[in-house]
Amino acid sequence: MREPRRFDVVVIGGGNAALCAALAARERGASVLVLEKAPEPERGGNSLFTAGGFRFAHTGLEDLRKDVIPDLTPGEATSVEVAPYPEESFHDDLMRLTENLSDPDLADVLVTRSRPTVVWMRSHGVRWILMFGRQSFRVEGTHRFWGGLSVEAVGGGPGLVQALYARAQALGVEVRYATKATRLLLSDQGAIRGVVYRSLQGFGEITAGAVVLAAGGFEANPEWRTRYLGAGWELARVRGTRHNTGDGIRMALEVGAQPYGHWSGCHAVAWDANAPPFGDRRVGDLFQKHSYPLGLIVNLRGERFVDEGADFRNYTYAKYGREILKQPHRVAFQLFDQKVVALLREEYLIREVTKAEGPTIDALATKLEIDAEGLVRTVREFNAAVQPGEFNPAILDRKGTRGITPPKSNWALPLDTPPFVGYAVTCGITFTFGGLRVNTRAEVLDTEDRPIPGLYAAGELVGGLFYQNYPGGAGLMAGAVFGKLAGEHAAEYTTRAS
Ligand SMILES: Cc1cc2nc3c(=O)[nH]c(=O)nc-3n(C[C@H](O)[C@H](O)[C@H](O)COP(=O)(O)OP(=O)(O)OC[C@H]3O[C@@H](n4cnc5c(N)ncnc54)[C@H](O)[C@@H]3O)c2cc1C
């Protein structure tokens, strides 16, 4: 059934990128409809499952206090150390991690618009705080932030999503839940003219001046995972929403959009071995296990297979899920001793954790069903390879190993202080890297590099930014930056065209 009402901008998706697009379009005076495939209690996509951490360029704590976290009291500020994170550093991190493959134009937009977009979100009711718990270590009474990521939304992902929906409602954005977009409609001239959707009442058709696609990647689609990421990926656990099945990408490809980016790549992490197949909104991201730089990671044979201390966790965690998937039975174990257990992140303390403890390495191996002989040998060789030096988790301390493969390049302490603790993890997929090609106005390009008139995209389904690896906190930031751009340009286009 074709609805009589026309919307200037229809946004497909209900996460961070979609809501930023909706707010930006509404701010420009457009009438805006958001179609969210999930029912209302499941709204918010992967954005809801996050810690709400945003990576953006700034020049240090005083800069942040101006217009991002002005509520930090002078007393609090004296015990905090946040190193400047200039645009060049953000850009260099992105390029270093993506093997220089990140699209330079898109990377430039992400970096240069990151800080202004964070301030813009604040003007729409998103409040920011420092990520004390996850991104800082207390060193001599001072909270030292590390790894270029220091700010999160108040209330984490749920707080972020709540704030964005509240603002959308206040501005008069219409949201329809349990409404799945299925097809894009083009005019004879090849411009967007509407969307076909399916709701509980059946199929319907909406006329739209422009459409913003923000429906996430294809991480929750086991068939596409196997097809594009490779054999075995159908067995990965999905960390977030079950609704991101590649619909937005498929719909765009069907009207001639250009596939772009690292289609066989994804963000995947160490995730509790007994986590459910999809994210649990109550537990959120706490199934992740991200303190491995403080210990050792081994497989069922008791063998190490990655450099746990290659870099800050923000720069290694997104690629280590793939390494875990390659191990026997897709499991690995993170091992720690009493020298570091007090430094483990909050996610190690949840009730739903797969953990064992033992007075000896042998006993721990037996409890975790790791080959005991193999593990004892690995730990003996590792301990003997640890070099002297001062351990400092807040910096790359270069306290490494010598003579073993793989090495541990930073934070190498012998595993020698019982009781020993071990956590069983598997591969949890976060989001996929391949998607659609957009230009710096967030317009979707066709296979001849021309914008498809009236079609915009933002968030996970945009390809070209992330290859091989990813700097923590860049996903939400990219979604917000390109979401805002998509909303602005969609509103401009539709008012110009009408
Ligand atoms: C556990 C976890 C923790 C994370 N932590 C962080 C973090 O701290 N910082 C960070 O930067 N990134 C983090 N990420 C990555 C981050 O979630 C994503 O980069 C970001 O949320 C993507 O936003 P999005 O709006 O593109 O997608 P989503 O938020 O996933 O939204 C996609 C939306 O599209 C909807 N949808 C799908 N198909 C259709 C359809 N056919 N019709 C209508 N709607 C549709 C979905 O229901 C959903 O609402 C994390 C991810 C997970 C899973």
Contact 240, 202 (CB under 8 A): no
Residue 259 identity: P
Q: What percent of the chain has pLDDT over 70?
A: 100
Choose among 214, 87, 151, 154: nearest CA to 473. Answer: 151
Rounded to the nearest 5 degrees, what angle is found at the Cα of 43, between the Cα atoms of 38 and 44? Answer: 125
Report helix, strand or coil for 348. Answer: helix
**pLDDT at residue 257, as a whole number:** 98
* Mutation probe of ligand 1 site: the residue of 23, 40, 47, 152 with most atoms within 8 A of C-beta: 47
Ligand 1 site residues, Cβ closer than 6 angstroms: 12-18, 35-38, 45-47, 49-53, 180-181, 214-216, 239-241, 243-244, 247, 285, 430-431, 459-460, 473-477, 479
Contact 9, 25 (CB under 8 A): yes
The model's pLDDT over 23-47, given as tens digits with 9 standing for 90+, comes to 999 999 999 999 999 999 999 999 9
Q: Is residue 140 pLDDT above 80, yes or no?
A: no
**pLDDT at residue 179, as a whole number:** 98
Q: Is residue 267 pLDDT above 70, yes or no?
A: yes
Q: How far is CA 397 from CA 153, 293, 296, 408, in A?
A: 30, 12, 17, 11
Rounded to the nearest 5 degrees, what angle is found at the Cα of 17, between the Cα atoms of 172 and 281? Answer: 95
The model's pLDDT over 363-402, given as tens digits with 9 standing for 90+, comes to 999 999 999 999 999 999 999 999 999 999 989 999 999 9
Question: What is the arithmetic mean of pLDDT over 338-346?
Answer: 96
The model's pLDDT over 167-204, given as tens digits with 9 standing for 90+, comes to 999 999 999 999 999 999 999 999 999 999 999 999 99
Question: Ligand 1, closest atom to CA 251?
Answer: 41
Nearest-angstrom CA–CA distance, 169 and 150: 29
Residue of minimum CA distance from atom 4 in ligand 1: 50
The model's pLDDT over 445-461, given as tens digits with 9 standing for 90+, comes to 999 999 999 999 999 99
Question: What is the arithmetic mean of pLDDT over 219-236?
Answer: 98
Contact 268, 327 (CB under 8 A): no
Q: Is residue 271 pLDDT above 90, yes or no?
A: yes
Q: Is residue 122 pLDDT above 90, yes or no?
A: yes
Q: Is residue 303 pLDDT above 70, yes or no?
A: yes
List of residues 6+ apart from 247 with CB closer than 8 A: 12, 37, 180, 181, 182, 215
d(CA 14, ligand 1 centre) in Å:
8
Question: Ligand 1, closest atom to CA 215?
Answer: 34
b/e per residue, 132-169, with b = 16+ CB within 10 A?
eebbbeeeeeebbbbbbbbbbbeebbbbbbbbbbebbe
**pLDDT at residue 142, as a whole number:** 79
Nearest-angstrom CA–CA distance, 407 and 320: 15
Report helix, strand or coil for 394. Answer: coil
Q: Is residue 343 pLDDT above 70, yes or no?
A: yes
Contact 32, 11 (CB under 8 A): yes
Contact 339, 413 (CB under 8 A): yes
Residue of minimum CA distance from atom 53 in ligand 1: 240
- Through-space distance between the first and last CA atoms of the chain, rounded to whole angstroms: 23
**pLDDT at residue 145, as a whole number:** 79
Q: What is the DSSP-derived secondary structure letter of residue 124? A: T
**What torsion do the CA atoms of 198, 199, 200, 204 make, to the nearest 10 degrees?**
-70
- Averaged confidence pLDDT in the chain: 96
Residue of minimum CA distance from atom 35 in ligand 1: 13
Question: What is the arithmetic mean of pLDDT over 215-232?
Answer: 98
Choose among 290, 260, 220, 230: nearest CA to 46. Answer: 220
Choose among 137, 142, 149: nearest CA to 343. Answer: 137
What residues pair up with 335 in beta bridges, in sequence order? 296, 422
Joined tokens for residue 329? 């039975």
**pLDDT at residue 498, as a whole number:** 67
Q: What percent of the chain has pLDDT over 90?
A: 91
Q: Can you tell me which residue has the tokens 């012998």?
A: 414
Q: Is residue 215 pLDDT above 90, yes or no?
A: yes
